[in-house]
Each structure stands twice: as C-alpha cells, then as structure tokens.
Amino acid sequence: MTKDPGPLIAPDTQADKSALRREMRRRRRELSADQRFHRGRAMSRIITALPLFRNSRRIALFLATDGEMDPGTVMQHAQAMDKQVFLPVLAGSPRRVGLRFVRHAPGEVLVANRFGIPEPLPDPGRVINPRFLDLVMAPLVAFDDHGNRLGMGGGYYDRTFEFLRLRRSWRKPRLIGVAHEFQRLAALPREPWDVPLSGVVTEAGFRNLDG
C-alpha cells in the first residue's frame, strides 16, 4: 500500500504553484483505487455527521477526477435525505469562465466538458443562483489552516463566489474544501481575488476555518 508522502514547501511564485500542482496531482493519482474508496467513505462519514451538512438543503458537489477525494458517497447520503444536489457546469465567455450549478438526480444524463469532466445538461430551469446554495463542497489541489485554497489555476470557484469576499457577516453558502489529508500545507499565499474556505474535510477530520 502506498504511504502518504511528507509535507511540501508552500509556493511563493507562479512557477512554484505550477510545480506544486504537478506534484500534488501525481500524488493523488498514485493512490490505489482501494485507498481512494476507503478515504472517500471516511470523509463522507465525517461531513454527513455534522450539523453543517444536516441543516443544508441545497448542496453543491462535484464529480471526482484525477485522483481527487471522491464525494460520491456524500451525494448518495444527500439524495437519500431528499436534499437538492447541484453539480458545476462551466459557463461564461472564453476570457471569464465561471460556474453554473445545475440540479442533478441519480441516473440523469451527463456530458463531458472541454476537460473531459462529466457535467449535467445546462437546463436553465434547473440552474440555481450560487447565492441560494447552503453548502458548496469544492475540489482543490492544496489547502492550509487559514482558509487558503490552491485550485487548478482556472479561477472558476473564485469568480463564481467572489460575492462572498464582499460580505462582512452572514456568509452563505459555506464553501468547504474536499481533499486528502496530505494536500494540507503549513501556509499558502493569498491573492486579492481568492475566496477563502469556510472549512476543509479530509479522511482525517473536519477543520472549521471560519475563525
């Protein structure tokens, strides 16, 4: 069984960030299917036991790729509890791509986007304004305990939820990172446009980062 590697050095430059993304993606892909399955189940048990999840009616999830922590079991729990589940769909102009969130039910058709990631069909009648989501579980490449998130570099979540940066109180939806524990770093730089996480859930536990 592959053991978790040691911690990485926090990036200071764009070149460092690119190197970190490559390394973290490599580490994720090296996890066996069995490791990913059991970590996903452990993460699901942790998040679904929290009032944060149980009190949320409209939940945005994602379909895991590239070795990401898989929230598939979380989706099963949410749908069994009759919660509304939404999946992200790439949208916007080529120069400013963001996300739309489309309601998804089990067995519905998915289509591959430009990156080969399955998405729901963008039916306007099933799209929700992100402000009306209660909980958003977001993928990431690396995170720290200050709410900083390193994504794939497209800025999709930051652009979609930039309204959260402008609020002084009452932050909704709660933006929760989903990751393997080894994706945690001591510190990550924060850019002015970054939207901080409310928390992070891994197979090891939940970190509330709302202060």
Report d(CA 40, CA 13) in Å as an integer.
Answer: 32
Positive or negative: CA dihedral 174, 199, 144, 139: negative
Whether residue 8 is contained in a domain is answered as: no
pLDDT at 55: 97
pLDDT at 175: 96
In this prediction the pTM is 0.89
For the chain, the domain total comes to: 1
pLDDT at 17: 84
Whether residue 28 is contained in a domain is answered as: yes
Report d(CA 22, CA 19) in Å as an integer.
Answer: 5
Return the residue matching tokens 């944060």: 52
CATH number at residue 55: 3.40.50.10420
pLDDT at 2: 45
Of the candidates 167, 172, 141, the one whose C-alpha atom is nearest the C-alpha of residue 154 is: 141
Whether residue 3 is contained in a domain is answered as: no
**What is the three-class DSSP state of 91?**
strand
| Domain range enclosing 192 | 14-204
pLDDT at 111: 93
Whether residue 48 is contained in a domain is answered as: yes
Segments of the chain scoring below 70 in pLDDT = 1-15, 93-95, 167-170, 211
Q: What is the per-residue pLDDT across 87-143, written as a single tens digit (0 to 9) for each?
A: 999 987 656 778 999 999 988 989 998 888 999 988 899 999 999 999 999 999 999
Q: Answer yes or no: are the C-beta atoms of 87 and 63 closer than 8 Å.
A: yes
Whether residue 4 is contained in a domain is answered as: no
